[in-house]
Amino acid sequence: MNTARFIARKLSENGVVKGRLSTVSNYIAWISVALSIAIMIIAISIVGGFKSEIRGKAAGFMGSVILVPPGQTPLNEKYPFKEPLSYKESIADLKYVESINSVAYRSGLIKTEDNINGVYFKGIDSLYNLSFFKSALVRGQLPDYSGKLGNDILISGRLAALMGYELGDQVLSYFIGDDVKVRKFTIVGVFDAQLDDIDKTIIVVDKRHIQRLNGWDTNQASCVEIRIDNDKNIDDAAEEIENMVFTSSTDDDPSLFVTSISKFYSHLFDWLALLDLNVLMVLLLMIAVAGFNMISAILIILFEKISMIGLLKSLGMTNRGVSKVFLYRALYIVGKGVVWGNVAACAVCMLQKYFKIITLNPDNYFVKYVPIKSDLGQILLLDAGSIVLIMLILSLSTIFISRVSPDKTLRVN
């Protein structure tokens, strides 16, 4: 039998005595641990939610990983490449790749009687993955480009409000090159993705229009968008795809470079990186608060049990053995706090995730409500790490035990 654990359990069973200072401190300690754990879990869940939402929206516009001609951006409209690509199917077969589509871009102007605005027309075909725009659609329907060349376009709610457009309106568009080309499109759908700087500059149109405006063949495009699973690291995926392109390219394949959405929209991903730093500070602060509250509770218990400490030492128990008694007692308190902290955090996260109680201004935060994404592995790692760190902090308080003299403490009532 583990003597230290047995004594600690008996202390735990008999430790709740009304009016004792140690009882009050125990309650304060485990509640402090519970609140700290809950705050940490909620913090990492919120940051995980922001990362998932914003990354998903940015990737929805342009894909997570992008193949572009040398020296060009994904919005390339000057130097097209020709399809097919010999390695396209191999990339599509990667388990984390959701879709791979070629698109064509052309910059242009849209004009009403009162406003004029520069935009990019994004040309897609009937095979394009429209799941993102479907999830963001607020009015109308998605365009269908499977038949003959049509004039239907998809536009953002912000751009529509800026220009005064309504669903079904015709959009007069100007494309400036060696000469000015004019096209008239019809709005069939309005989406709202809350990425202000992006969705005010992108209009979705039939790819065949862009190819004709650019003077391209039907097998020419601006870039290839590769959309990947939201849980896959973008940089890791880009590196693997880059290696595949390098090793699988043939002499007939065009020269294409691999870039990622995190580089193209670096300001968004830099903002997310700052959130990671904020969360780290919250975690360290909460661990410190919980740890020092636990030290206070254990010191109070040690003072109240000073006679017992002297008795155990007089019976031959070492300082280390006595320390274990109180560390086991502390572990019971910490464990209780961790359990209740997890319960409280899960309840708050579920309420926010399904009822969206806390709202945000999408102009500042890119989402309408506080997003939540919980990862069981992260939570378990956080729980384990918190327990270890708090117990390490508590081990300092047991130095007091080595200073206890049995001949003096046994006379303490």
Q: Are residues 17 and 125 in the same domain?
A: no
Question: Is residue 350 a part of any domain in this protein?
Answer: yes
Total structural domains within the chain: 2
Q: Are residues 246 and 281 in the same domain?
A: no
Q: Are residues 30 and 163 in the same domain?
A: no
Q: Are residues 21 and 84 in the same domain?
A: no
Q: What does the alpha-carbon distance between residue 307 and residue 313 come to, in Å, rounded to a whole number?
A: 10
Residue 107 half-sphere exposure toward CB, CA atoms < 13 A: 9
Q: Are residues 88 and 201 in the same domain?
A: yes
pLDDT at residue 35 greater than cutoff 90:
yes
- Quick: pLDDT tens for 134-150: 999 999 999 999 989 98
The strand pair at 180-191 and 97-111 is best described as: unpaired
| pLDDT for position 19 | 42
Read out DSSP for 101-150? EEEEEEEEEEE-SS-EEEEEEEEE-TTS--HHHHHHEEEE-----SSS--
Q: Is 71 left (phi over 0), alpha (psi -120 to 50) or beta?
A: left
- Quick: pLDDT tens for 309-321: 777 777 778 777 8
Looking at the DSSP assignment, which residues form a beta bridge with residue 120? 107, 202
Grade residue 104 by pLDDT with cuts at 50, 70 and 90: very high
Grade residue 203 by pLDDT with cuts at 50, 70 and 90: very high
Last residue of a domain, one of 227, 255, 283: 255
CA 356 to chain centre: 17
Tell me the residue length of the chain.
413
Q: Are residues 117 and 251 in the same domain?
A: yes
Q: Choose the most confident range, by mean pLDDT, from 4-8, 255-259, 405-409.
A: 255-259
Grade residue 15 by pLDDT with cuts at 50, 70 and 90: low
Record the pTM.
0.87
Question: Is residue 262 a part of any domain in this protein?
Answer: no
Q: Which residues contact 410 (CB under 8 A, 6 or more apart)?
A: 307, 310, 311, 314
Q: Which residue has the higher pLDDT, 46 or 362?
A: 46
Q: Dihedral of CA 214/217/223/225: which sign?
A: positive
Of residues 338, 324, 352, the one with CA closest to residue 387: 338
Residue 405: is it exposed, middle or buried by C-beta count within 10 angstroms (0-12/13-18/19+)?
A: exposed
- Quick: pLDDT tens for 365-403: 889 999 999 999 999 999 999 999 888 888 877 676 666
Q: To the nearest whole number, what is the mean pLDDT of the chain? A: 89
Each as own residue / partner, the long-range contacts of residues 174-178 (CB below 8 Å, 24 or more positions apart, any chain) are 174/108, 174/109, 174/110, 174/111, 175/106, 175/107, 175/108, 175/109, 175/213, 176/108, 176/109
Question: Is residue 30 a part of any domain in this protein?
Answer: yes
Tokens representing 46? 């919120």
Tokens representing 384? 């384990």
Tokens representing 57? 């929206």
Q: Are residues 208 and 278 in the same domain?
A: no
Of residues 300, 274, 302, 390, the one with CA closest to residue 341: 390
Last residue of a domain, one of 226, 255, 284: 255
pLDDT at residue 1 greater than cutoff 60:
no
Question: Is residue 337 a part of any domain in this protein?
Answer: yes
- Quick: pLDDT tens for 146-185: 989 989 999 999 999 999 999 999 999 999 988 999 999 9
Q: Write down the H helix ranges in 63-102.
A: 88-92
- Quick: pLDDT tens for 249-300: 999 999 999 999 999 998 888 888 888 888 989 999 998 888 888 888 887 7
CA 167 to chain centre: 33
Whole-angstrom CA distances from 382 to 274, 385, 398 are 20, 5, 25
| pLDDT for position 312 | 78
Question: Is residue 367 a part of any domain in this protein?
Answer: yes
C-beta atoms surrounding 184 within 10 Å: 9
| pLDDT for position 18 | 41
| pLDDT for position 404 | 64
C-beta atoms surrounding 17 within 10 Å: 9
Q: Are residues 237 and 371 in the same domain?
A: no
Q: What does the alpha-carbon distance between residue 95 and residue 229 come to, in Å, rounded to a whole number?
A: 9
Of residues 368, 135, 354, 144, the one with CA closest to residue 230: 135
Q: Are residues 53 and 79 in the same domain?
A: no
| pLDDT for position 225 | 97
Q: Are residues 44 and 86 in the same domain?
A: no
| pLDDT for position 348 | 96
Grade residue 68 by pLDDT with cuts at 50, 70 and 90: very high
pLDDT, mean of residues 320-346: 89
The strand pair at 202-206 and 116-124 is best described as: parallel
**For the chain, how are helix, strand and coil distributed in percent, rounded to 5?**
55, 20, 30
Between the CA atoms of 363, 367, 369 and 375, what dihedral angle is there, to the nearest 10 degrees? -150
Of residues 331, 382, 359, the one with CA closest to residue 43: 382
- Name the DSSP class of 257: E
Q: Which residue has the higher pLDDT, 408 or 175?
A: 175
Q: Are residues 220 and 113 in the same domain?
A: yes
Q: Are residues 189 and 101 in the same domain?
A: yes
Last residue of a domain, one of 255, 281, 310: 255
Domain range for 226 is: 70-255
Query: Do residues 206 and 149 touch, judged by C-beta distance below 8 A?
Result: yes
Question: Is residue 280 a part of any domain in this protein?
Answer: yes
Grade residue 34 by pLDDT with cuts at 50, 70 and 90: very high
